[in-house]
């Protein structure tokens, strides 16, 4: 059995070397135009700082002009470089198209905008659900559709990139993330199909999957998270925006389709690889070799989550029963 494995291993590696697609690529950043939506704070601003420090010409798009001006000034202080800013709502295609045209041809597009209001589906208003889908998913369509024509017509023909900042909630659904997960899961389908459409134009698509990230938005989210969401999602820990930005930019430059940001993210990426593109034959080998084991690990995680949910509801029902009994006794 060991001898057979030793014979099959190099055959599998050789096979994967020839079949992985798209082929490996390097996306240059220096002296390229990097356009970042949601760039006035959080991961987007951290990405802008890092891209500028590597010699990129940076443009930022966000809704708040005041925050954009603050971001512009902070980048100027840290790198000595000026950036272009554009105030627009990604839900407004015409406004996005005007900003993109004013900015000029884009080499690296980072679709980073996102909103999140955690809540159980039966308690969440349809206006909040629509808001998340419109910003997170439809806004991404608007930005990419506006940018694509000029990206395809770029003169240098060097490899270009479109990256979408998703979330680990775009890899696995969690209690209280019903609408948010739907909006982030959609980005993967968008990216997989888009990569096939733009590969002939030497445009390479990445999807970044950050965990909880210490940003102003995350602080607000924590204030309204359902209790069960905190129990289930809180165990994975959080990252700093600068750390996520570095992982994201490294993944973009290497042309990786799937860009995880921490250990849990790597495990999720392997467990949910499915039919996603993979450029690295070594990574493809790890996926092939470990998918069965990680499926078992995933089932243990699901068991733990459902046990937590069951225990929480049992505790809640027991508490209400005690309250009802107390009221009955007093009567």
In this structure, of 34-48, 62-76, 287-301, the range with the lowest mean pLDDT score is 287-301
Residue 102 has pLDDT above 90, yes or no: yes
Q: Give the mean model confidence (pLDDT) for residues 213-217.
A: 81
Q: Give the mean model confidence (pLDDT) for residues 152-175.
A: 94
User: Cβ–Cβ contacts within 10 Å for residue 216, how many?
Assistant: 11
Share of the chain above pLDDT 90, in %: 82
Global pTM value: 0.92
**Which sign does the torsion angle of CA 158, 197, 106, 253 carry?**
negative
pLDDT tens-digit series, residues 32-60: 999 999 999 999 999 999 999 999 999 99
Looking at residue 163, its pLDDT comes to 98
Q: Give the mean model confidence (pLDDT) for residues 162-180.
A: 96
Active-site residues: which are they?
166, 180, 184
Q: How far apart are CA 162 and CA 4, in angstroms?
A: 42
Looking at residue 224, its pLDDT comes to 84
pLDDT tens-digit series, residues 229-265: 888 886 667 899 999 999 999 999 999 999 999 999 9
Looking at residue 107, its pLDDT comes to 97
Residue 327 has pLDDT above 80, yes or no: no
Residue 116 has pLDDT above 70, yes or no: yes
pLDDT tens-digit series, residues 82-101: 999 999 999 999 999 999 99
DSSP string, 122-155: GGS-HHHHHHHHIIIIIHHHHHHHHHHHHHHT-S
Contacts of 106 (CB under 8 A, 6+ apart): 33, 34, 35, 59, 100, 147, 150, 151, 160
In this structure, of 2-6, 31-35, 162-166, 196-200, the range with the lowest mean pLDDT score is 2-6
pLDDT tens-digit series, residues 4-40: 666 778 888 999 999 999 999 999 999 999 999 999 9
Q: How far apart are CA 229 and CA 270, in angstroms?
A: 24
Q: Give the mean model confidence (pLDDT) for residues 303-324.
A: 81
pLDDT tens-digit series, residues 117-136: 999 999 999 999 999 999 99
Looking at residue 325, its pLDDT comes to 45
Residue 326 has pLDDT above 60, yes or no: no
Torsion angles phi and psi, residue 160, rounded to 5:
-115, 170
Q: How far apart are CA 43 and CA 133, in angstroms?
A: 20
Contacts of 61 (CB under 8 A, 6+ apart): 35, 36, 37, 38, 39, 85, 86, 87, 88, 90, 96, 99, 143
């Amino acid at each position: 059995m060991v001898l057979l494995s030793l014979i099959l291993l190099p055959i599998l590696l050789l096979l994967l070397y020839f079949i992985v697609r798209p082929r490996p690529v390097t996306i240059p950043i220096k002296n390229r135009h990097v356009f970042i939506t949601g760039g006035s704070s959080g991961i987007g601003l951290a990405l802008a700082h890092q891209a500028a420090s590597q010699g990129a010409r940076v443009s930022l798009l966000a809704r708040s002009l005041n925050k954009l001006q603050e971001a512009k000034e902070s980048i100027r202080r840290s790198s000595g470089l000026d950036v272009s800013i554009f105030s627009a709502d990604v839900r407004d295609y015409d406004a996005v198209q005007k900003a993109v045209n004013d900015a000029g041809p884009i080499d690296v597009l980072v679709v980073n905008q996102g909103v999140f209001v955690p809540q159980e589906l039966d308690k969440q208003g349809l206006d909040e659900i629509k808001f998340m889908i419109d910003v997170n998913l439809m806004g991404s369509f608007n930005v990419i559709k506006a940018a694509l024509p000029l990206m395809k017509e770029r003169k240098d023909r060097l490899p270009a990139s479109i990256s979408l900042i998703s979330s680990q909630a775009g890899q696995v659904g969690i209690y209280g993330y019903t609408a948010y997960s739907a909006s982030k899961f959609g980005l993967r389908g968008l990216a997989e199909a888009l990569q096939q459409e733009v590969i002939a134009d030497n445009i390479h698509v990445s999807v970044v999957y950050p965990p909880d990230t210490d940003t102003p938005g995350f602080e607000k989210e924590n204030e309204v998270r359902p209790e069960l969401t905190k129990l289930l999602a809180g165990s994975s820990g959080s990252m700093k925006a600068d750390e996520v930005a570095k992982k994201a930019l490294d993944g973009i430059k290497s042309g990786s389709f799937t860009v995880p940001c921490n250990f849990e993210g790597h495990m999720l990426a392997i467990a949910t690889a499915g039919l996603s593109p993979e450029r690295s034959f070594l990574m493809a080998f790890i996926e092939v070799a470990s998918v069965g084991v990680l499926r078992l690990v995933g089932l243990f995680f699901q068991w733990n989550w459902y046990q937590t949910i069951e225990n929480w509801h049992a505790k809640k029902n027991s508490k209400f029963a005690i309250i009802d009994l107390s009221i009955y006794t007093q009567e």
